[in-house]
Amino acid sequence: MQRIYLDNAATTQIDKEVMQIMVSVMENHYGNPSSIHAHGREVRTLVEKARKTVAGLMNTAPANIFFTSGGTEADNTAIKCAIYDHQIKHAITSKIEHHAVGHTLEMMEKQGQIKLSYVDIDEKGNINYQHLEELLINNDRSFVSLMHANNEIGTLTDIDRVGELCETYQAIFHSDTVQTMGHYPHDLSKLKAHFVVCAAHKLHGPKGVGFLYVNPQIKINPMILGGAQERNMRGGTENVYGIVGLSKALEIAYQEMDIHQQHIQALKTYMKVELKKAVPEIEFNGEVEDSKSLYTVLNVRFPKMNMADMLLFNLDINGISASGGSACSSGSNIGSHVLTALGVDPERPSVRFSFSKYNTKVEIDEVIKALKKVF
């Protein structure tokens, strides 16, 4: 059975060109980039070339890009170090952030380091910008963490608007941009953010590598100590193969961005129409308008059904990989904190279908056929 992969918001298939360049580095460049001999210097050159490539695509200076093990480390570094080093006592976030952000801020509040405020959101996950401004006005200097696109429902946040508000009230702004990096252009010379993050495996790169952008207007100390790597900002021998793979994946993503966006958006639109035909009772979680929604994500709320928790299993045995769940119900199950925050009926199962450049219309037709067997 040829399996269909529609869980690209979780991770993506690595691009063959990316894999080839990583294998070449593994085979031919094995020196430690911190070593001063020729083997080390040639590997250091690869790392700095990758940094220059990433910075160029982001329209920022190479000195502002720090390679990490992925988005979670980058988020934690930005949050913990900025709050601690700048003695911030108040943070603002939303209840639908990724756990890398939400759990970190919750722990800091529990430890008494900050007071944590949640900005209001509507039933589709949109930020209430007026409430955000009220929170900024009525508190001391704040740390704001709001993601660009929600990883479960795809709703986009206007991070340019958030950045402007944060600048007005001298707040520090961090945005988890993991889901949009490589899918939308990011001009860091214009975006008024202090931190943005990337995880390579979300854009057809390798797992275990990412980067943190640090605006030169802010200074932080490292979270991981142990060496002078990353210009004394992140101790530990660099993941050279991963860093080279990340830069190549991002380069490809920018080169092919327009054509892949058109292809993937067309698949999403087609699936919305066909799903409504097949199961008229379905609804969509989050925003689905093209301008307000991440084009790679479609979160579908299905009708109530017996053994709702078996829906994903049924898809799996039919050769379809997707993800999802339901809202938390009275603490009896650990469901989606995002769907719970939106007030979604916990008795209705939801499935997140997320697309990539490798998906096809034929695959969507197969998914619709499988769902017709269930409903």
Closest by CA position to 260, among listed 177, 268, 45: 268
- Could you give the CA distance from residue 351 to residue 126 in angstroms, rounded to a whole number? 20
Average pLDDT over residues 117-132: 98
Closest by CA position to 198, among listed 215, 213, 214: 213
User: What pLDDT does 332 receive?
Assistant: 46
Closest by CA position to 99, among listed 145, 144, 154, 155: 145
More confident residue, 304 or 44: 44
Q: Please tell me which residue in 81, 166, 198, 328 is annotated as part of the active site.
A: 328
User: What pLDDT does 359 receive?
Assistant: 98
User: What pLDDT does 291 receive?
Assistant: 94
Q: What whole-number percentage of the chain has pLDDT above 90?
A: 91
Average pLDDT of the chain, as a whole number: 95
**Cβ proximity of 211 and 73 under 8 Å:** no
- Residue 124 binned pLDDT confidence (cut-offs 50, 70, 90): very high
The number of residues in the chain equals 375
Average pLDDT over residues 268-277: 98
In 49-152, the DSSP E strands lie at 65-68, 90-93, 115-118, 142-145
Average pLDDT over residues 335-359: 94
Average pLDDT over residues 335-350: 93
Is the confidence at residue 333, as pLDDT, over 80? no
Strands 297-301 and 320-321: unpaired
- Residue 13 binned pLDDT confidence (cut-offs 50, 70, 90): very high
328 in catalytic set: yes
Is the confidence at residue 310, as pLDDT, over 90? no
User: What pLDDT does 324 receive?
Assistant: 83
Closest by CA position to 353, among listed 303, 293, 308, 305: 293
Burial of 94: CB neighbours in 10 Å, binned 0-12, 13-18, 19+: buried
Burial 125-161 (b: 16+ CB within 10 A, else e): bbbebeebeebbeebeebbbbbbbbbbbbbbbbebee
Domains with residue ranges and CATH for the chain: 4-12+256-374 (3.90.1150.10), 16-255 (3.40.640.10)
Task: Please give the full DSSP string across 197-231, using - where no structure is assigned.
Answer: EEEGGGTTS-SS-EEEEE-TT-----SS-SS-HHH
Is the confidence at residue 308, as pLDDT, over 80? no
User: What pLDDT does 145 receive?
Assistant: 98
User: What pLDDT does 374 receive?
Assistant: 86
Residue 163 amino acid letter = G
- Could you give the CA distance from residue 146 to residue 126 in angstroms, rounded to a whole number? 11
User: What pLDDT does 306 receive?
Assistant: 75
Is the confidence at residue 51, as pLDDT, over 80? yes
User: What pLDDT does 305 receive?
Assistant: 83
- Could you give the CA distance from residue 92 to residue 166 in angstroms, rounded to a whole number? 11
Closest by CA position to 11, among listed 360, 358, 259, 354: 354
Average pLDDT over residues 90-109: 98
Average pLDDT over residues 235-240: 97
Q: Positive or negative, the Cα torsion across 14, 268, 184, 325? A: negative
User: What pLDDT does 327 receive?
Assistant: 64
Average pLDDT over residues 137-161: 97
Is the confidence at residue 330, as pLDDT, over 90? no
User: What pLDDT does 335 receive?
Assistant: 84
User: What pLDDT does 328 receive?
Assistant: 62
